Amino acid sequence: MMTVAPLDNPRLKTTQGVLLPTISCSTYQTLLAESGDRKSSKFAYSRGVLEIMMPSDLHKNINCELKRIVTALNEKLHLRLKGFSSTSLNRSDLQQGAEQDSCFSLLNIESIFGKKNGILNEAPPALVIKVDLTSVSLNILSIYQQLGIIEIERYRGGTVQISQTKNPRYFFCEYSLPFPIMPATLLDHLVQMSETQDDNAIVRYW
């Protein structure tokens, strides 16, 4: 077992994680099933390596702020969007899995209406929010690439980055694909602003 090392910023040293090698895909699937939707930890899996993260309050707060920004943008642009919380995305055939902090379906959302758990593995969400307050051991971008995620809004190292898939990997982008009025610099500014202002300040920004 190896402890995931935190970043140098002292305010980020609250999220903890462990890395477990030589874990079979069937064991990972069993662990997901037994943990259910109310587990306090998050899992990422790639070909025999399992990472378990225990999010801190700061982790959860940053996710809430990013999710609120996406919701506000959706209301402004009148897009067809369906949001989800911390849903497990996994493909046993690829031996890959990840549990994002939030995700949003933007394309062909009719295909997920009224469906039960697991539908997002068949119709992956277009946008994922991922908060990383530790140095990530697994290549989470590689996992999301194989799971079919188009865009990731990722908080890492104290800043927000937007990554979009351009096979065979992700590239940093200045603007969000579904929200072209939102540059990465503004997204980062709004998250930083939330540290000293109330949540509605984000909505009032527009």
The CATH number for 197's domain is: 3.90.1570.20
Give Rg (Cα) of the chain: 17
For the chain, what is the domain count? 1
How far apart CA 88 and CA 85 sit, in angstroms, is 9
Residue 200: domain span = 56-204
SS3 50: strand
- The answer to the question of residue 132 being in a domain is yes
Reported as a pLDDT band with limits 50, 70 and 90, residue 88 is: confident
Instruction: Taking residues 32-37, report their average pLDDT.
Output: 82
Decide if 97 contacts 143 (C-beta within 8 A). Answer: yes
Reported as a pLDDT band with limits 50, 70 and 90, residue 4 is: very low
- The answer to the question of residue 89 being in a domain is yes
Reported as a pLDDT band with limits 50, 70 and 90, residue 6 is: very low
Greatest alpha-carbon pair distance for the chain in Å reads: 49
Give the tens place of pLDDT for each residue, 156-167: 988 999 999 987
How far apart CA 54 and CA 196 sit, in angstroms, is 25
And the tokens for 184? 């990465």
Give the tens place of pLDDT for each residue, 105-147: 876 676 666 665 666 777 888 899 999 987 666 889 999 999 9
